[in-house]
Amino acid sequence: MMTRNKQSVIGLAIIMTFVVVAVVMEASALLGVQATPYPANPLPNQASTPLLPPSLAHPFGTDNLGRDVFSRILVATPYDFMIGFVVVGSAVLIGAFLGGLAGLRGGLLDEFLMRFTDIFFALPVLLIAMVIGAVLGGGITNMSVALMITWWPSYARLARGETLKVAHQNYIEASRLSGQRPHRILFRHVIPNISGTMLVYATLDIGTVILVYSGLTFLGLGNRPPAPDWGQMVAAYNGWVLTDPWLALIPGLVISIGVIGFSLLGDGIKDTLGIR
């Protein structure tokens, strides 16, 4: 069982902590309630003393404008963390359908899909996302769309390869002979049998999306200031690395912990399901 795998338990605990924080932050924003110790963007007369080191009052210290870094990281969590679920979830749905159908049907559909995905694989995903982001403009929504457009091809390839492994099984052939349409075979027989591999790949990939999105926000393509973003905070606090290193170090560690959590959980699921 997965609960006997220490790595997966640690990974799940990390992920659930982030999920709870994200849900609480979103709920408090909708209800107009402050759920953080301090306002993420206080008025000048509400701000604390600038550049305070970590303490009990300010666990992650304060930045150059006197804003509590811990509160800003909490407020940024829904944007930076949940984007991984949104992008990977959409990529799985699109990729599983297109790749599975191409693997079942073969022929021109399969050939077209493979050549089309080759275009995406020939170019760096981050570069494509930056171009799309530059065209659409920055912001969480536009960056989500940019990553969705570039993220599904790998899942289409994976689904197509896994479908080819089961396409000639007896139960698939029996379904074809009984007159079932390809999309019905896909949803009833193929996707359930390839879902384990897709789940492992998706779990590991959510951390990659978080890392890529943090890179985009580091370049200024995420939320517009003063709205906080983990990557944006690392970029904004770079000027104080030598004198106040915790400012850039702590957001970077938060990103790393989130990525590690998904890596541990993905490895645990892989070992539990016996997937290579």
What is the predicted pLDDT for the residue at 3?
64
Q: Which amino acid is at 158?
A: L
Where residue 276 falls among pLDDT bands split at 50, 70, 90? low
Angle ∠(55,15,87) on CA atoms, nearest 5 = 115
pLDDT at residue 171 greater than cutoff 80: no
Q: Which CATH superfamily is domain 2-21+69-273 in?
A: MetI-like (1.10.3720.10)
User: Residue written as tokens 């990659």?
Assistant: 208
Residue 184 pLDDT exceeds 70:
yes
User: What confidence score (pLDDT) does residue 199 get?
Assistant: 92
Tens of pLDDT, residue by residue over 90-135, are 999 999 999 998 988 888 888 998 898 888 888 787 788 788 777 8
pLDDT digits (tens, 9 = 90+) for 136-154: 777 888 888 889 988 999 9
Residue 91 CA, distance from chain mean position: 11
Q: Are 98 and 220 contacting, i.e. CB atoms less than 8 angstroms apart?
A: no
pLDDT, residue 73, reads 95
| Model confidence at 2: pLDDT above 70 | no
If pLDDT is split at 50, 70 and 90, which confidence band does 203 have?
very high
- Closest among 258, 220, 250 to 142, alpha carbons compared: 220
Helices (H), 32-167: 69-105, 107-122, 125-136, 140-166
